[in-house]
């Protein structure tokens, strides 16, 4: 496990397209003492993504090697041969700087991190205002094939059922309001 479990964590999870990444980017621009935990994945980068900034792109073999080396706090095969996980070294690096770790992870990963860190972690589920709105947001991104959109929508049905297991369900019907509410939740959590 981690050598030092002294810091705090804030976990953001949601179905793809609910707005969690946008909210996390807003929070990181505020002066809250937060630092983003860059997840590792087995997939290739998209055209706008950079290794070490958006993800640690390990490739399938590299990801599996890290699993064997027990390098992850948690990992998940989100889709077939499509792995995502949290490297122990990433959390240790952030805590060594005296910062609060912020995670932008899938729902199962978020619940796993919460289970591991307990009261040291605040888990926030970002919920879209409706299933139809979620599909509109995914289509508006124009980054996914129709097959991927259908795959993500099917997965969203399951993910939405996990919302009550999180500390807070944050409905993202108005982005500015959701960002400000998330900021207030984090400020309360950090000072307690």
Give every CB contact of residue 144 below 8 A, 6+ residues apart in sequence.
Answer: 138, 152
Helix H, strand E, coil C: the string for 124-168 is EEEECCCHHHHHHHHHHHCCCCHHHHHHHHHHHHHHHHCHHHCCE
The fold for domain 9-191 equals Rossmann fold (3.40.50)
Please state at what angle helix 131-141 crosses helix 146-161, rounded to 10 degrees: 140
Q: How far is CA 4 from the centre of its chain?
A: 21
Spans of all domains in the chain: 9-191
pLDDT digit of tens for each residue in the chain (192 aa)?
555 567 999 999 998 888 899 999 999 999 999 999 999 999 999 899 999 998 999 999 999 999 999 999 999 898 889 999 999 999 999 999 999 999 988 898 899 999 999 999 999 999 998 888 888 878 887 777 888 888 888 888 899 999 999 999 999 999 999 999 999 999 999 988
For residues 173 and 129, give the distance between their C-alpha atoms in angstroms, rounded to a whole number.
5
Q: Please identify which residue in the block is written with the tokens 């910062």.
A: 99
Give the pLDDT score at 126.
96
- Classify 104 as helix, strand or coil: strand
Query: In angstroms, rounded to a whole number, what is the distance separating the alpha carbons of residues 171 and 191?
Result: 24
Give yes or no for a contact between 143 and 46, defined as CB atoms under 8 angstroms apart. yes
Tell me the two tokens of residue 69. 């080396």
- Check residue 147 and give its pLDDT: 85
Describe the strand order of the beta sheet including 168-171 as a list of residue ranges: 34-36, 100-105, 9-13, 121-127, 168-171
Give this prediction's pTM. 0.85
103, 12 contact by CB (below 8 A): yes
């Amino acid at each position: 496990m981690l050598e030092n479990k002294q810091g705090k964590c804030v976990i953001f999870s949601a179905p793809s397209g609910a707005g969690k990444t946008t909210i996390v980017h807003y929070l990181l621009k505020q002066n809250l003492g937060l630092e983003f935990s860059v997840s590792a994945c087995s997939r290739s980068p998209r055209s706008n993504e950079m290794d070490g900034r958006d993800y640690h792109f390990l490739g399938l073999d590299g990801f599996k090697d890290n699993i064997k080396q027990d390098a992850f706090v948690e990992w998940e095969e989100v889709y077939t041969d499509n792995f995502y996980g949290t490297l122990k070294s990433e959390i240790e690096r952030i805590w060594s700087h005296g910062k609060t770790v912020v995670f932008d992870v899938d729902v199962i990963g978020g619940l796993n991190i919460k289970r591991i860190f307990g009261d040291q972690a605040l888990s926030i589920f970002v919920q879209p205002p409706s299933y139809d709105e979620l599909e509109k947001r995914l289509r508006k991104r124009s980054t996914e094939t129709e097959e991927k959109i259908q795959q993500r929508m099917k997965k969203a049905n399951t993910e939405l059922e996990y919302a009550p297991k999180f500390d807070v369900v944050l409905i993202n019907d108005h982005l500015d309001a959701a960002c400000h509410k998330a900021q207030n939740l984090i400020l309360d959590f950090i000072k307690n």
